[in-house]
Structure formats: structure tokens, C-alpha cells
């Protein structure tokens, strides 16, 4: 009888803790389900759902409607639903992010609000350090017996290690095939599919494999070009003309994945000249994870040449009108960021 009573009472106890804001580990899908079951939370949440009729919702809503929306978010601000998070690459990530931004629509300032990242910093994919080191040693041993510049070209070596790991090879083959295939209307590629598969690669492959491909150290242009070509830039990065960085940001804000990855990047990659490694948070590993999270979005960055470590977006601030400072601010997140 005691066990039956405890089994029934425990969910109720957890629910009370959740509504009091004492449980903070829920992902946003779990939090949404709990909110549906609690009348006052559900009422406020439904108001916020209805507060999103357009991309420029604040401009289109009347004064009274805006006041009601902000009040609903303030009500949820004291609820654990406001503290829910998502995990990069998780199942139903887009749904989770939609919930997060629904309850952060009006009190969050934007991508540069460091409290705005919807990600909890964890990942479902292990680092892969031990496996990478094992395969790297194997590859090195094999190529010592033949003529290869693998040891001097670290990007080539990283690619060879990826090729002998089933998971890395599978996901890399998938995005390369998609990003090099001409689209049905004879364009150079289907960028949307290319971006999706790039995100799958960086979200699904252990970082020891994916990051060594992208951040390999080079001493010559051959190696540097291999590194620059990692994300198949002809499809994923470049366009015939460079768009305005402000237009790029506007496109990003309309997409929950891009918006979320950019907020996460800004949170983890703030730079400081007083920091030992250039990162305000003293966590360069977190910054590099956030950087790879942007690859496959409208804000995809890449190396600008094969002979430097300079990074940038494919955009320009020429013709930025009345907002040149805002435009330069976006570009400088990459071009002048000592945390990267």
C-alpha cells in the first residue's frame, strides 16, 4: 500500500516543485506538457502562442494586445517553464525551440542577450577522444609504410581518420554528396538540404572527429584549402553576390534553429582581451561547439582564404543604410573575435 501511495504521490510532488520553480532540468517539450496540465500556466502559454501572428508581431499587435502578451510572459517568468532548455541535435529539436521562443518572445532582447540561449550546454554525443586517438594511431601506422603527406597535412590526416570511423564517414559522405549535387532546377546545389545535412554531421559526430576536420592546424596552402573546403563552401557558404549582413541576420531571426544557434554562439563566444584564452567565459571549447552549431544555418561562417585563420560570414556592410554600427557588430562577431 505504501508503494502504491508513493507511486501516485510522487508525480504530484514533482508537479508542485515544478510550478514553484524548484525543478529546472526539464527540456521545453516536457515543460510544455506539464504546463498544459496546470490551468493558469496553460492560459498564459496559450496567450503567448496567439501572440505570434507574424514575423513583426510587435508592430502588428495593438497596444492592449502587446500589454496582454507581455503580462503573460511575466506570469510564466516565475514558472519553471521559463527556465526550460533544449539540447542541440535532440529529437524534436525544432519543437523544443519553438516552445522556448514562444515563452521568451517579449522580455528577451534578441540574439545578443546572453540569457537567451535555449541550449543547456550538453550534447547527446560523447567527445570520442579515446576512439579518435586509437584510430589516429592506426592511420599513422598504416601511412608510415607508404608514401603519404598525411603526417604533415593535419587536415588530410583528420579526413583519413574520419574515413575509418563508420559514423563519421557515413555522415560526412551524406553531406558531401548532397552539397555537391546539382538541384532539380539546375542550380549548383540544394542549399537547404546541404545545410540540413551539415547540421546532422556536426550534431551527430563526436567533436574529436568533426572539430579536427574543421580546426586542423595548417602550415601550407594545400592543407589550408582542404580545411576551407570542409563544409563545401560553394554550396553552403558562398553566393553569387554578398548579401547585407543585416539581411542575413533578418533571415536568421525568422528561423528558430538559426536564431537559437546564434544566441548560443553569442553567449559562449563573447571575447575579452583580459581573458587568458580570449573568451570572456574562459571556455573556448564551448565557443568552438557553438561555432560548429552555426554551420548549416543562414549564419554559416567559414575561412576566408586558404592561407589564414581568418573567419567571416558571407556578407557585406556596404549599403547598410542607417545601421552601419549594427551591421559591423554582426560581422565582427567572426572577423575580430579573439575567442575563436
Averaged over 301-315, what is the pLDDT?
95
The pLDDT confidence band at residue 111, using thresholds 50, 70 and 90, is low
In terms of average pLDDT, the best of 58-67, 144-153, 198-207, 326-335 is 198-207
Averaged over 207-229, what is the pLDDT?
94
> How far lies 115's CA from each of 205, 249, 266, in Å?
27, 19, 10
Least confident range from 60-74, 89-103, 211-225, 277-291: namely 60-74
> Under 8 Å CB-to-CB from 136, ≥6 apart: which residues?
157, 161
pLDDT at residue 11 greater than cutoff 70: no
Averaged over 123-128, what is the pLDDT?
70
Averaged over 2-10, what is the pLDDT?
41
Q: What is the pLDDT of residue 276?
A: 86
Helix (H) or strand (E) holding 301: strand 301-303
Question: Is residue 317 a contact partner of residue 308, using CB atoms and an 8 Å limit?
Answer: no
276 or 228, higher pLDDT: 228
Q: Measured between alpha carbons, how far is 288 from 279 in angstroms, rounded to an integer?
A: 11
Q: Measured between alpha carbons, how far is 295 from 171 in angstroms, rounded to an integer?
A: 14
Q: Can you tell me whether residue 27 is helix, strand or coil?
A: strand
Question: 222: buried, middle or exposed (CB in 10 Å: 19+, 13-18, 0-12)?
Answer: middle
pTM higher than the cut 0.75: yes
**Exposure letters 129-166 (e unless 16+ CB within 10 A, then b):** eebbeebbeebeeebeeeebebeebbbbbbbbbbeebe
Least confident range from 35-49, 71-85, 211-225: namely 71-85
Domains of the chain: 2-107 (1.10.220), 129-335 (1.10.220.110)
The pLDDT confidence band at residue 304, using thresholds 50, 70 and 90, is very high
pLDDT at residue 61 greater than cutoff 80: no
Averaged over 167-173, what is the pLDDT?
97
pLDDT at residue 6 greater than cutoff 90: no
DSSP for 58-91 reads HHHS-HHHHHHHHHHHHHHHTSGGGG-BEEET-T
pLDDT at residue 302 greater than cutoff 50: yes
243 or 80, higher pLDDT: 243
Average pLDDT, the chain: 84
- The single residue listed with the C-alpha cell 572539430 is 211
108 or 33, higher pLDDT: 33
pLDDT at residue 212 greater than cutoff 70: yes
Q: What is the pLDDT of residue 110?
A: 52
Rama region for 232: left / alpha / beta (φ>0; ψ in -120 to 50; rest): left
| Neighbour tally for 267: CB within 10 Å | 22
Q: What is the pLDDT of residue 175?
A: 98
Averaged over 170-187, what is the pLDDT?
93
Q: What is the pLDDT of residue 150?
A: 58
Averaged over 187-203, what is the pLDDT?
95
Q: What are phi and psi of 122, to 5 degrees?
A: -95, 170
DSSP for 257-297 reads HHHHHHHHHHHH--B-TTSSSSBTTS-HHHHHHHHHHHTTS
Q: What is the pLDDT of residue 14?
A: 42
53 or 260, higher pLDDT: 260
Q: What is the pLDDT of residue 236?
A: 97
Q: What is the pLDDT of residue 124?
A: 62
Amino acid at each position: 500500500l505504501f508503494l502504491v501511495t508513493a507511486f501516485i504521490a510522487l508525480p504530484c510532488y514533482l508537479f508542485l516543485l515544478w510550478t514553484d520553480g524548484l525543478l529546472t532540468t526539464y527540456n521545453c517539450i516536457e515543460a510544455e506538457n506539464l504546463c498544459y496540465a496546470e490551468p493558469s500556466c496553460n492560459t498564459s502559454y496559450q496567450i503567448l502562442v496567439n501572440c505570434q501572428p507574424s514575423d513583426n508581431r510587435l508592430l502588428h499587435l495593438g497596444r492592449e494586445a502587446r500589454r496582454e502578451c507581455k503580462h503573460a510572459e511575466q506570469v510564466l517568468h516565475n514558472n519553471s517553464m521559463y527556465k526550460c532548455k533544449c539540447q542541440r541535435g535532440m529529437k524534436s529539436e525544432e519543437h523544443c525551440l519553438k516552445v522556448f521562443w514562444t515563452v521568451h518572445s517579449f522580455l528577451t532582447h534578441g540574439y545578443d542577450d546572453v540569457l537567451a540561449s535555449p541550449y543547456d550546454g550538453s550534447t547527446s554525443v560523447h567527445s570520442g577522444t579515446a576512439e579518435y586517438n586509437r584510430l589516429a594511431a592506426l592511420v599513422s601506422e598504416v601511412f608510415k609504410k607508404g608514401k603519404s603527406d598525411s603526417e604533415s597535412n593535419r587536415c588530410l590526416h583528420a579526413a583519413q581518420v574520419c574515413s575509418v570511423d563508420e559514423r563519421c564517414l557515413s555522415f560526412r559522405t551524406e553531406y558531401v554528396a548532397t552539397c555537391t549535387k546539382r538541384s532539380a532546377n539546375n542550380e549548383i546545389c540544394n542549399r537547404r538540404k546541404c545545410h540540413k545535412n551539415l547540421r546532422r554531421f556536426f550534431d551527430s559526430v563526436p567533436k574529436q572527429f568533426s572539430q579536427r576536420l574543421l580546426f586542423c592546424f595548417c602550415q601550407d596552402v594545400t592543407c589550408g584549402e582542404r580545411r576551407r573546403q570542409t563544409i563545401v563552401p560553394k554550396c553552403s557558404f558562398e553566393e553569387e553576390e554578398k548579401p547585407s549582413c543585416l539581411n542575413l541576420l533578418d533571415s536568421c531571426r525568422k528561423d528558430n534553429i538559426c536564431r537559437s544557434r546564434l544566441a548560443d554562439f553569442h553567449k559562449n563566444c563573447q571575447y575579452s582581451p583580459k581573458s587568458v584564452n580570449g573568451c570572456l567565459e574562459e571556455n573556448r571549447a564551448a565557443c568552438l561547439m557553438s561555432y560548429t552549431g552555426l554551420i548549416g544555418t543562414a549564419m554559416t561562417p567559414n575561412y576566408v582564404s586558404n592561407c589564414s585563420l581568418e573567419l567571416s560570414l558571407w556578407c557585406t556592410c556596404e549599403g547598410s543604410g542607417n545601421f552601419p554600427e549594427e551591421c559591423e557588430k554582426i560581422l565582427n562577431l567572426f572577423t575580430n573575435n579573439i575567442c575563436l
